[in-house]
Amino acid sequence: MANWRILCRGSAACDQHCIVVDYEDLSPKVIQFLAARCGLPVCADSERRIADVFKTDAKHPARHYLDDRESKNSKATDSIRRCVERWVLEPYLQLRTQRLRVCR
């Protein structure tokens, strides 16, 4: 349950300086915001390249990205769902309250 411990510690460690980015919030605009927040300049060419990355499947770069979260979620067994509810749901929801709020 190492991931559960990391999630709990992450939730407990959040303060006003933390930036939590949930997977569903990831977008080219968020990446550009984070780069700027870290003092990294993003030129027009970088903006285009960042947008292109979001169109590509990370595991299979020759393929276009397809949001498969719903498909994967539907395959979760009742046992997995119970484990999630028992071990990670509460700290995950606490961490989500701290998540980054920027335009997508």
Q: What is the pLDDT of residues 61-79, one digit of tens each?
A: 899 999 999 999 999 999 9
State mean pLDDT over 31-51. Answer: 91
Which 3 state secondary structure label does DSSP give 99? Answer: strand
10 pLDDT more than 70: no
Report the pLDDT value the prediction gives residue 21, as an integer from 0 to 100.
Answer: 85
Q: How many CB atoms are closer than 10 A to CB 95?
A: 20
State how far the Cα of 23 lies from the Cα of 27, in Å rounded to an integer: 9
pTM for the whole thing?
0.68
Q: How many CB atoms are closer than 10 A to CB 7?
A: 19
The pair of structure tokens assigned to 45 is 């060419």
